[in-house]
């Protein structure tokens, strides 16, 4: 049954809906995965609508502490219904449909993230992926019925990306048959795990495993961290909330420090490796990276998460654009709906097509994931490297594109889009975090590049490669795409676009009407066209050659290029002496992110001074009302030329080294903006990360300890909601 029509709908919205060229219900069924799924979703929605407590005061008007307590209250009510529904299903497919529906409907109740996100999104999947059968039988029912509340603590203050660099140790003591957990340094403090700060009583801890004096690398352990009755942190642990952040404000992300904390031997999650009673280490896994499995799973999930979040943002922005009227096109005629402006459509329509691109690609990626998992059950890990490469690059691209598209949706709503009540800021805060967590954007793209370079080598040797990368063999002509990581990634993006096109065509080829097919085709074309235009520069081959330049300065250019080589910047490479761990500042990709910020700062300062001088003159000459917004390219050109000339004027009295640095900044700014369209600027530091003395970890911990939630060891919502819920008394 369709949802009932709602009375008092805005006339413009009704008019737009009447203009729709296809049956909306048909598209709804397509998105839900069929008529039955739509009906089931509505049944669950209606049930939740009847039983779930809504907010009386908007979440954003509460204090941080109240926000958290409110989130626990709502989560407990949702979990109660969720656990009940989950207990009624028997088939795996029904369970995954139900979880998806619950996930989506639950967003109606939270502006922010539930403190149970990590329990559901990582704790349970890690039990399934990393525990032996016996351990699964013990832990899974407890976790599914929420008798225990867990999280996933891998990242530390000092390391997130480089998992092999984690410092927490788990040393096996064969006399007592226990592991001893320790945080040997400040930087080894666990940091970030969602739900750890106040909610969780169990935690998956990733630590370096030592036995018989040898280190066997990082392994996951399942660890109780709070007393099940009093919720007090157990002796030997320091645990708390890390402090306010951009989003995730109700997810009580936490820190955890171990001091000779003992856990039983079978706390080691033993699907891929075990330690026998006498301390013998036994490797079971056929692939060394299987302990990274949960991350792959969540990366796959995130593609669909991005489709969902962007669909919400663009629905908000399109509806509002139909309602909002602004400006005068023709005298004495009504102001047009902002949706009618082509520029507005440009902002919105690409987001609509992106939602479909993400959703179809996500459906395909999830299927691929399950196929690879099924093969791995039979011991075949051949497809794992490609799955890792695929999930890495699709996660990176879709999280990055999604948060950028949500910003466009916010811009499309003008000032009102900036209101928290529009939900666009919260959607942005949630999705922009996904670009970082579960693997940083750049780092994951580099992982994919690594896979592609290896595949390319196989192609060069004439060896067979998998169908997904077979295009590399077809492109033996290297000029079609360059071999830099970016070039390779772009080629891979083309593959993602290819997946979208074939999947969307496949999914709409049966049953669906011509009207839906037309719309889906248009969306697919729009997505492909948009990205080919966005990347025009990349698709056009320029010569880029030291040998073929117009001026024929062949030898000069060869020498200039050689001198630019990073290897020539120092007479003796430091690897001659040793091989130190790099600072992230050493990565060129990191410098790329930072240095343009510095250059922009100077550009803005210089241009601001210049602008101030001419402000009065310009406004008096042009008059109010004639200062139409200048096209972006003109604005950038102004920045560039003013920066160039003003900087030149002001540096002449400075010392030579400073002049040289400032001139480099001008060059960087000009160069960067010929390549890029945007940059970031941090004007006021006020930052734990950017302090002059570089005491980053100390400051992060100091700030976390000042955090009000850490002033009380147990939050009162434990007694009010969590404990009665866990004990089945609620």
Ligand X SMILES: Cc1cc2nc3c(=O)[nH]c(=O)nc-3n(C[C@H](O)[C@H](O)[C@H](O)COP(=O)(O)OP(=O)(O)OC[C@H]3O[C@@H](n4cnc5c(N)ncnc54)[C@H](O)[C@@H]3O)c2cc1C
Ligand Y SMILES: CCCCCCCCCCCCCCCCCCCCC/C=C/C(=O)SCCNC(=O)CCNC(=O)[C@H](O)C(C)(C)COP(=O)(O)OP(=O)(O)OC[C@H]1O[C@@H](n2cnc3c(N)ncnc32)[C@H](O)[C@@H]1OP(=O)(O)O
Question: Which residues are designated catalytic?
Answer: 438
| Of residues 437 and 672, the one with the C-beta less far from ligand X | 437
- Closest separation in Å from C-beta 177 to ligand Y: 29
Task: Count Cβ neighbours within 10 Å for each residue of 202-216 and write b for 16 or more, e otherwise.
Answer: bbbbbbbbbbeeeeb
From ligand Y, ligand X, none, which one binds at residue 442 (CB under 5 to 8 Å depending on kind)? ligand X
Q: What are phi and psi of 512, to 5 degrees?
A: -70, 150
Contacts with ligand X, residue ranges (CB under 6 A): 118, 152-155, 159-161, 192-194, 248, 253, 433, 436-440, 442-443, 446, 584, 587, 589-590, 593
Residue 272 and residue 130: Cα distance in Å, rounded?
7
| Of residues 59 and 156, the one with the C-beta less far from ligand Y | 156
One of 95, 136, 144, 696 touching ligand Y (CB under 6 A): 144
Touching ligand Y, residues 58-117 (CB under 6 A): 78-79, 82-83, 86, 99, 102-103, 106, 117
Touching ligand Y, residues 445-464 (CB under 6 A): 447, 450, 454
From ligand Y, ligand X, none, which one binds at residue 289 (CB under 5 to 8 Å depending on kind)? ligand Y
What is 421-481 written as a DSSP string?
A: GGSHHHHHHHHHHHHHTTS-HHHHHHHHHHHHHHHHHHHHTT----GGGTHHHHT-SGGGS
Residue 670 and residue 690: Cα distance in Å, rounded?
25
From ligand X, ligand Y, none, which one binds at residue 584 (CB under 5 to 8 Å depending on kind)? ligand X
From ligand X, ligand Y, none, which one binds at residue 363 (CB under 5 to 8 Å depending on kind)? none
β 169-173/202-211 pair status: parallel
Q: Helices marked H in 535-587 — which ranges?
A: 536-539, 554-564
Give the C-alpha distances (Å, rounded to integers) separating 142 from 104, 119, 258: 24, 12, 25
β 281-283/254-258 pair status: unpaired
From ligand Y, ligand X, none, which one binds at residue 589 (CB under 5 to 8 Å depending on kind)? ligand X
- Closest separation in Å from C-beta 566 to ligand X: 14
Strand ranges, E, within 253-405: 254-258, 261-264, 273-275, 281-283
Cβ-based neighbours of 36, under 8 Å, separated by 6 or more: none
| Of residues 376 and 405, the one with the C-beta less far from ligand Y | 376
* Choices 131-139, 261-269, 298-306, 615-623 (CB under 6 A): range interacting with ligand Y: 298-306
| Of residues 441 and 643, the one with the C-beta less far from ligand Y | 441
Question: How many CA atoms, within 13 angstroms, populate the side-chain half-sphere of residue 419?
Answer: 9
Length of the chain: 730
- Selection from 390, 408, 435 nearest residue 354 by Cα: 408
From ligand Y, ligand X, none, which one binds at residue 248 (CB under 5 to 8 Å depending on kind)? ligand X
| Of residues 33 and 165, the one with the C-beta less far from ligand X | 165
**Total residues contacting ligand Y (rule CB under 6 A)?**
41
Region of residue 249 (left: phi > 0; alpha: psi -120 to 50; beta: else): alpha
Cβ-based neighbours of 486, under 8 Å, separated by 6 or more: none
From ligand X, ligand Y, none, which one binds at residue 243 (CB under 5 to 8 Å depending on kind)? none
Q: 101 labelled as ligand-binding?
A: no
Give the C-alpha distances (Å, rounded to integers) separating 160 from 192, 240, 432: 10, 19, 17
- Selection from 150, 140, 225 nearest residue 181 by Cα: 225
| Of residues 101 and 434, the one with the C-beta less far from ligand X | 434
Q: Does 688 bind ligand Y (CB under 6 A)?
A: no
Q: 194 labelled as ligand-binding?
A: yes
From ligand X, ligand Y, none, which one binds at residue 238 (CB under 5 to 8 Å depending on kind)? none
Q: What's the DSSP call for residue 692? A: T
Q: Does 120 bind ligand Y (CB under 6 A)?
A: yes
Site string for ligand Y, 250-289 (x = CB under 6 A): ---------------------------------------x
- Closest separation in Å from C-beta 653 to ligand Y: 48
From ligand X, ligand Y, none, which one binds at residue 425 (CB under 5 to 8 Å depending on kind)? none
| Of residues 161 and 641, the one with the C-beta less far from ligand X | 161
- Closest separation in Å from C-beta 165 to ligand X: 9
- Closest separation in Å from C-beta 246 to ligand X: 8
Touching ligand Y, residues 181-220 (CB under 6 A): 194
170 within 8 A of 188, measured Cβ to Cβ: no
| Of residues 139 and 531, the one with the C-beta less far from ligand Y | 139
- Closest separation in Å from C-beta 710 to ligand X: 18
- Closest separation in Å from C-beta 611 to ligand Y: 42
SS3 284: coil
What is 616-682 written as a DSSP string?
A: HHHHHHH-TT--PPPPHHHHHHHHHHHHHHHHHHHHTTS-HHHHHHHHHHHHHHHHHHHH-S-----
Touching ligand Y, residues 367-406 (CB under 6 A): 384-385, 388
Residue 219 and residue 10: Cα distance in Å, rounded?
57
| Of residues 279 and 385, the one with the C-beta less far from ligand Y | 385
Task: Count Cβ neighbours within 10 Å for each residue of 365-390 and write b for 16 or more, e otherwise.
Answer: bbebbeebbeebeeeebebbbbbbbb
Q: Does 163 bind ligand Y (CB under 6 A)?
A: yes
Annotated binding residues for FAD, as ranges?
155, 194
Binding site, by residue number, is 155, 194
Q: Which residues bind ligand Y (CB under 6 A)?
A: 78-79, 82-83, 86, 99, 102-103, 106, 117-118, 120-122, 144, 152, 154-155, 160-164, 194, 289, 292, 295-296, 298, 301, 305, 384-385, 388, 437-439, 443, 447, 450, 454
């Amino acid at each position: 049954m369709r949802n009932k029509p709602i009375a008092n709908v805005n006339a413009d919205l009704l008019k737009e809906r009447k203009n729709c060229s296809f049956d909306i219900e048909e598209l709804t069924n397509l998105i839900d995965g069929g008529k039955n799924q739509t009906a089931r979703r509505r049944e669950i929605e209606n049930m939740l609508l009847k039983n779930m407590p809504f907010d009386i005061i908007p979440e954003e008007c509460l204090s941080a502490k109240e926000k958290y307590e409110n989130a626990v209250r709502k989560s407990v009510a949702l979990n109660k219904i969720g656990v009940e529904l989950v207990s009624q299903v028997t088939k795996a497919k029904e369970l995954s449909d139900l979880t998806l529906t619950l996930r989506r409907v639950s967003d109606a109740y939270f502006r922010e993230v539930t403190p149970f996100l990590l329990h559901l999104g990582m704790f349970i999947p890690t039990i399934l992926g990393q525990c032996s059968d016996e351990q699964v039988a013990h832990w899974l029912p407890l976790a599914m019925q929420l008798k225990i509340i867990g999280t996933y603590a891998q990242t530390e203050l000092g390391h997130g990306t480089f998992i092999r660099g984690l410092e927490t140790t788990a040393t096996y003591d064969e006399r007592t048959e226990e592991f001893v957990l320790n945080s040997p340094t400040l930087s080894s403090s666990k940091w970030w795990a969602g739900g750890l700060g106040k909610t969780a009583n169990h935690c998956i801890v990733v630590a370096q495993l030592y036995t018989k004096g040898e280190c066997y690398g990082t392994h996951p352990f399942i660890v109780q961290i709070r007393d099940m009755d009093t919720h007090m942190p157990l002796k030997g642990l320091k645990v708390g909330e890390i402090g306010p952040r951009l989003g995730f404000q109700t997810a009580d992300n936490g820190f955890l420090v171990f001091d000779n904390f003992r856990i039983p031997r079978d706390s080691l999650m033993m699907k891929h490796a075990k330690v026998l009673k006498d301390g013998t280490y036994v490797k079971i896994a056929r692939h060394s990276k299987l302990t990274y499995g949960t991350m792959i799973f969540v990366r796959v999930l995130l593609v669909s998460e991005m489709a969902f979040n962007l669909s919400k943002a663009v629905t908000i922005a399109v509806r509002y654009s139909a309602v909002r009227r602004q400006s005068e096109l023709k005298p004495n005629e009504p102001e047009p709906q902002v949706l009618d402006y082509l520029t507005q459509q440009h902002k919105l329509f690409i987001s609509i097509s992106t939602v479909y691109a993400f959703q179809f690609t996500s459906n395909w990626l999830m299927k691929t994931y399950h196929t690879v998992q099924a093969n791995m059950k039979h011991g075949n890990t051949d497809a794992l490297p490609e799955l890792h490469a695929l999930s890495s690059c699709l996660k990176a691209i879709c999280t990055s594109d999604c948060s950028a598209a949500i910003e466009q949706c916010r811009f499309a709503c003008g000032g009102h889009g900036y209101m928290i009540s529009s939900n666009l800021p919260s959607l942005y805060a949630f999705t922009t975090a996904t670009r970082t967590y579960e693997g940083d954007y750049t780092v994951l793209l580099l992982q994919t590049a690594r896979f592609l370079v290896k595949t390319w080598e196989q192609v060069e040797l004439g060896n067979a490669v998998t169908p997904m990368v077979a295009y590399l063999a077809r492109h033996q002509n290297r000029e079609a795409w360059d071999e830099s990581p970016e070039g390779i990634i772009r080629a891979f993006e083309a593959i993602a676009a290819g997946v979208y096109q074939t999947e969307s065509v496949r999914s709409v080829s049966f049953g669906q009407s011509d009207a839906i097919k037309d719309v889906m085709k248009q969306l697919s074309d729009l997505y492909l066209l948009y990205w080919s235009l966005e990347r025009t520069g990349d698709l056009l081959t320029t010569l880029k050659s030291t040998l073929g330049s117009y001026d024929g300065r062949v030898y000069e250019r060869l020498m200039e290029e050689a001198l630019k080589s990073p290897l020539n910047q120092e007479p003796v490479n430091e690897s001659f002496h040793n091989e130190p761990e790099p600072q992230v500042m050493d990565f060129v990709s990191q410098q790329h992110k930072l240095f343009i910020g510095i250059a922009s700062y100077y550009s803005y300062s210089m241009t601001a001074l210049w602008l101030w001088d001419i402000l009065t003159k310009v406004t008096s000459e042009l008059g109010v009302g004639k200062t139409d917004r200048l096209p972006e390219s003109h604005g950038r050109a102004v920045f560039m030329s003013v920066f160039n000339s003003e900087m030149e004027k002001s540096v002449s009295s400075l010392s030579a080294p400073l002049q040289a640095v400032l001139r480099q900044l001008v060059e960087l700014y000009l160069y960067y903006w010929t390549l890029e369209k945007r940059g970031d600027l941090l004007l006021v530091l006020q930052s734990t990360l950017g302090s002059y003395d570089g005491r980053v970890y100390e400051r992060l911990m100091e700030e976390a300890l000042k955090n009000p939630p850490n002033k009380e060891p147990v939050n009162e919502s434990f007694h009010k909601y969590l404990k009665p819920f866990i004990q089945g008394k609620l």
